[in-house]
């Protein structure tokens, strides 16, 4: 009986497994192999061993795009987590229209990246944009937003916060799993809302924070392509040259597919290392109720 | 008996269909473009198929921003088109790698004059292999010119720009722009009390890209690099002065919008028509939209050459059409593809696109023979001074953009764009930006495709 169940289990999992092999693992291996060639999409590739990797270390755009991408990722993930947790706490309260509010906050997360880039392009417009109008009403000076190299990444971080719907939903699920008796225990001991938050809420949802942190970092480090492609072309002065956009430029505009694959491979190793790092530090701050001895 | 007849009929059908398909050759023609271009190309392919039994042209539209990806997938997948547009940034690289066919041997054996080297504008041939091979020409020869709104000139009492490119000097251009720029209080930039943050109408607008930079750099006697394509000259005084003059239009004379102000302007055609700008430095292809506004009576369009520093010159660009080598290995297919290639790159076949203002023709007789010039000009679309300001101007003074010959130009162009946008944002001087460009493009200047 067990064997039969195992067979059915594998059968049902087969589409996902095959999908991973064909459309994820296969291209990843291909990309790794191509990174050792000088293929330019057209014509025959020829192996040039580590040439591409040597060139990467002298490439000033590579270094700049790494720093831009990490700046954006760290900024958007940490600010995003704080904002998402704040909204999740509010959306967890039983008020009229709770479902409506939750939907409203989730909608931006499912807007296609290209569509939202077009909308934000108008919001950021220094002359006609809504954001500068708001600043004007508050008596503040207008900003240049994505046209200023120091303001462009903070502008994109603002844009990413608009789309924290997924994170909020995960936090909501985590918040609803916290047993009420723990809050009552704090009340009995004479604790305030801050004590509740610090000693019950945060530790109990720390697995969720951890999950959102890892997923958020992985996502944010690969993001930015639509914004760079549609809104800024990597400028001004490389200040929004996201790594994913630089990979695209090399592959499809400069005709350097081999170099582009090398860039992708290096980045994958970095992401992998970062994920391992976060996992390794997790026992020190993530509390799993289920693992209580 | 019934069964036998039935079998005979089936065999007859099979024979006919087999013979039929063995004769007809299918050619795929890939292209991009707006709605007008898609319709025009569809009609041209249908016309050719009808007139040439045995050949079936299938147009395949691929959006411009997916063109390279889709074509590379088709090529690697073994199903490349026979004939098709080629992305300018990849064309010469693909030709060198053998993806595109060198058509020089075919041209030499050919008797049709429309495809001969000397019968097409010199500036639009895509040469590689040290200049000994060619993948063909651009399908149109688009140059940069100055569009303007005649009504605004009339209102301000300013004379129209001259159509003689030797007479339209930079200083005159700046003076004209100053007289045409007004702020919300009706003041011009040279009047006291002028507010550069509240400009109602800009004298001129232009984009921040290579088709604007290069004509002015060349006009001032400078260039991106030397003739061999290996030594940078972009930071030398001639190039820097030209670009600095462009920058001065924004920050010194206040006649052109800053990049941030530009983003608030509508497209050039609407901006000209609504009077947000008086002049626009743009490509000839914009005539397609401007012409429609003219026909609706909304715009009194004028056209002039580009203003010059030391000598008149404009840049020319145009998408090449090439024959994809892997798809024409069979001699019958090659013959059919070559015939179609000659036809589609003969501007006569694309007369609709020429007359509506989108394409400029490529055979030389369109620029010299009055019969052809008459075929070209649509009086409802082409302004009366078009012949002098564009046709003669392009014929005599058009220089190919570096995409036609410089290796690594796509990357060099991106570097120039990033550095120059700092200058056009008013953050650094043009000299600083050009110094940084010269430094960064050193490893990329490896030579030209058309020189050994």
Under an 8 A CB cutoff, do B93 and A253 touch? no
Q: Strand B55-61 vs strand B25-31: parallel, antiparallel, or unpaired? A: parallel
**pLDDT at B43 (0 to 100):** 92
Which residues of chain A neighbour B419 with C-beta distances below 8 Å? 237
Per-residue pLDDT of B52-110, as tens digits, reads 988 999 999 999 888 988 888 888 788 899 999 999 888 998 898 888 999 999 999 99
Q: Which two tokens stand for residue A196?
A: 């509740």
> What's the pLDDT tens digit per position in B365-379?
999 999 999 999 999
- The mean pLDDT value for B340-351 works out to 92
Residue A16 lies in a domain: no
Q: What CATH number should be reported for the domain holding residue B301?
A: 3.40.190.10
- B280 and B261 in one domain? yes
DSSP, collapsed to helix, strand or coil, labels residue B26 as strand
d(CA A161, CA B136): 50
* Neighboring chain A residues of B263 at a CB cutoff of 8 Å: 125-127, 147
Cβ within 8 Å, pair B98-A253:
no
Q: Do B147 and B270 belong to one domain? A: yes
Total structural domains within chain A: 1
Q: Is B317 helix (H, G, I), strand (E, B) or coil?
A: strand
Residue ending a domain, among B333, B363, B393, is B363
Q: What are phi and psi of B202, to 5 degrees?
A: -90, 140
A38-88 pLDDT per residue, tens: 887 776 788 888 888 998 988 889 999 999 999 999 999 999 999 999 999
How far, CA to CA in Å, does B207 sit from each of A72, B64, B171, B199, B259? 29, 20, 20, 18, 9
Number of domain units in chain B:
2
The answer to whether residue B212 is domain-embedded is: yes
Q: What angle do CA B326, B328, B331 make, to 5 degrees?
A: 140
**Judging by DSSP bridges, how do beta strands B321-323 and B83-85 pair with one another?**
antiparallel
Q: Which residues of B touch A41 (CB under 8 A)?
A: 68, 72, 75-76, 90
State whether residue A249 sits within 8 Å of chain B by CB: yes
Helix (H) or strand (E) holding B144: strand B142-149
A241, A64 Cβ separation under 8 angstroms: yes
Residues B165 and B300 in one domain: yes
Q: Domain for residue A158, yes or no?
A: yes
Give the number of other CB atoms < 10 A from CB of residue A221: 23
Both B342 and B309 in one domain: the answer is no
Cis peptide before B327 (omega within 30 of 0): no
Same domain, B169 and B189: yes
CB-based contact (8 Å) between A44 and chain B? Answer: yes
Q: In what helix (H) or strand (E) does residue B148 lie, and over which residues does it extend?
A: strand B142-149
Query: Do residue B284 and residue B433 come from a single domain?
Result: yes
B421, A125: Cβ pair inside 8 Å?
A: no
**Looking at the domain assignment, is residue B239 inside a domain?**
yes
Give the 3-state secondary structure of A63-96.
Answer: HHHHHHHHHHHHHHHHHHHHHHHHHHHHHCCCCC
B76 with B115, same domain: the answer is yes
Q: Which of B76, B97, B414 sits opposite A249 (nearest CB)?
A: B414
Instruction: Please tell me whether residues B234 and B338 are part of one structural domain.
Output: no
- Does B121 share its domain with B146? no
**Full-model pTM:** 0.82
In this predicted structure, what is the pLDDT of residue B370? Answer: 93
Q: Report how far residue B124's alpha carbon sits from residue B143's, in angstroms, rounded to the nearest whole number.
A: 11
Using beta carbons and an 8 Å cutoff, which residues of B are at the interface with A?
A: 68-69, 72, 75-76, 89-90, 93-94, 97-99, 259-261, 263-264, 408, 410-411, 414, 417-419, 421-422, 425, 427, 440
- Min Cα distance B372 → chain A (Å) is 38
Average pLDDT over residues B117-144: 92
Nearest to A236 among B261, B263, B421 (CB): B421
Q: What is the SS3 assignment for B203?
A: strand
Residue B256 falls inside a structural domain: yes
Q: pLDDT tens-digit profile of A133-166?
A: 999 899 988 888 888 888 999 999 999 999 899 8
Do residues B187 and B225 both lie within one domain? Answer: yes
Give the closest-approach CA distance of A148 to chain B in angstroms.
9
Measure CB to CB from residue B264 to each of A125, A144, A253 and give the nearest one. Answer: A125
Tell me, yes or no, whether A29 lies in a domain.
Answer: no
Domain membership flag for residue A78 = yes
Which pLDDT does position B301 carry in this prediction?
Answer: 94
Q: Which helix (H) or strand (E) holds B51?
A: helix B35-51
The whole domain housing B61 covers 26-141+318-363
Q: Cα distance from B259 to chain A (closest Cα, Å)?
A: 8
Helices vs strands, H then E, count in chain B: 20, 13
CATH of the domain at A202: 1.10.3720.10
| Same domain assignment for residues B163 and B252 | yes
Q: Quickly list H helices, B227-369.
A: 237-251, 259-263, 268-273, 287-295, 331-344, 351-355, 365-368
Do B310 and B325 lie in one domain? The reply is no
Give the bridge partners for B283, in sequence order.
Answer: B144
- B329, B363, B397 — which closes off a domain? B363
Domain that holds residue A145: 54-291
Residue at A265 is within a domain: yes
In a domain, A80, yes or no: yes
């Amino acid at each position: 009986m067990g064997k039969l169940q195992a067979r059915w289990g594998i059968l049902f999992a087969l589409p996902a497994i095959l999908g991973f092999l064909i459309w994820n693992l296969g291209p990843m291996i291909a990309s790794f192999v191509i990174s050792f060639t000088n293929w330019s999409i057209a014509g025959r590739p020829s192996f040039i061993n580590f040439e591409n990797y040597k060139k990467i270390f002298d490439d000033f755009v590579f270094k700049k795009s790494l720093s831009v991408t990490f700046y954006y990722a760290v900024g958007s993930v940490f600010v995003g987590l704080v904002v998402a947790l704040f909204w999740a706490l509010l959306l967890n309260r039983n008020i009229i229209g709770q479902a409506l509010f939750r939907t409203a906050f989730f909608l931006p997360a499912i807007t296609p990246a290209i569509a939202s880039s077009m909308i934000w392009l108008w919001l950021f417009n220094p002359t006609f944009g809504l954001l500068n109008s708001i600043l004007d009403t508050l008596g503040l000076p207008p900003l240049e937003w994505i046209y200023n190299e120091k303001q462009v990444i903070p502008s994109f971080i603002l844009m990413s916060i608009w789309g924290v719907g997924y994170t909020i939903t995960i936090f909501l699920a985590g918040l609803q799993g916290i047993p009420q008796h723990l809050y009552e225990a704090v009340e009995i001991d004479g604790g305030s809302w801050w004590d509740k938050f610090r000693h019950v809420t945060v530790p109990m949802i720390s697995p969720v924070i951890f999950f959102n942190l890892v997923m958020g970092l992985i996502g944010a480090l690969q993001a930015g392509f639509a914004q760079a492609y549609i809104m800024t072309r990597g400028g001004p002065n490389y200040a929004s040259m996201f790594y994913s956009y630089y990979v695209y430029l090399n592959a499809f505009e400069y005709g350097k597919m081999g170099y582009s694959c090398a860039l992708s491979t290096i980045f994958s190793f970095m992401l992998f290392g970062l994920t391992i790092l976060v996992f390794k530090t997790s026992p020190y701050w993530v509390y799993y109720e289920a693992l209580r001895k | 008996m019934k069964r036998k007849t039935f079998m005979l009929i089936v065999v007859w059908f099979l024979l006919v269909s087999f013979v039929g398909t063995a004769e007809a050759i299918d050619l795929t023609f890939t292209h991009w473009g707006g709605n007008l271009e898609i319709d025009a190309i569809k009609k041209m392919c249908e016309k050719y198929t009808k007139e040439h039994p045995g050949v079936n042209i299938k147009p395949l539209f691929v959006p411009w921003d997916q063109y390279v990806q889709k074509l590379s997938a088709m090529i690697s997948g073994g199903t490349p088109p026979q004939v098709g547009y080629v992305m300018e940034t990849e064309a010469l690289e693909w030709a060198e790698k053998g993806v595109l066919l060198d058509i020089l041997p075919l041209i030499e054996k050919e008797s049709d004059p429309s495809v001969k080297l000397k019968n097409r504008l010199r500036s639009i041939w895509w040469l590689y292999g040290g200049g000994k091979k060619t993948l063909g020409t651009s399908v149109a020869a688009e140059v940069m010119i100055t569009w303007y709104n005649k009504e605004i000139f009339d209102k301000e009492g300013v004379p129209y720009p001259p159509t003689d490119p030797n007479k339209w000097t930079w200083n005159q251009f700046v003076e004209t722009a100053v007289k045409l720029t007004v702020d919300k209080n009706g003041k011009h930039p040279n009047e006291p009390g002028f507010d550069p943050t509240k400009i109602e109408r800009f004298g001129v607008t232009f984009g921040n890209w290579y088709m604007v930079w290069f004509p002015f750099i060349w006009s001032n006697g400078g260039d991106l690099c030397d003739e061999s394509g290996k030594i940078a000259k972009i930071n030398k005084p001639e190039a820097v002065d030209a670009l600095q003059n462009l920058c001065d239009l924004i920050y010194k004379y206040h006649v052109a919008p800053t990049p941030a102000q530009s983003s608030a302007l509508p497209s050039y055609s609407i901006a000209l028509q609504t009077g947000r700008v008086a002049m626009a430095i743009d490509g000839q292809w914009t005539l397609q939209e401007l012409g429609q506004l003219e026909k609706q009576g909304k715009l009194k369009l004028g056209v002039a050459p580009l203003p010059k520093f030391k000598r008149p010159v404009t840049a020319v660009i145009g998408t090449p059409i090439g024959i994809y080598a892997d798809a024409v290995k069979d001699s019958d297919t090659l013959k059919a593809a070559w015939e179609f290639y000659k036809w589609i790159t003969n501007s006569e076949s694309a007369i609709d696109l020429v007359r509506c203002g989108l394409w400029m023709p490529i055979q030389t007789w369109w620029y010299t023979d009055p019969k052809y010039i008459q075929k070209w000009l649509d009086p409802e679309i082409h302004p009366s001074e078009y012949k002098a300001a564009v046709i003669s101007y392009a014929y005599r003074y058009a220089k190919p953009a570096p995409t036609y010959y410089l290796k690594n130009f796509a990357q060099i162009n991106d570097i120039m764009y990033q550095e120059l946008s700092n200058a056009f944002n008013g953050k650094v001087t043009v000299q600083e930006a050009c110094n940084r460009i010269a430094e960064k493009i050193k490893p990329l200047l490896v030579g030209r495709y058309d020189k050994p």
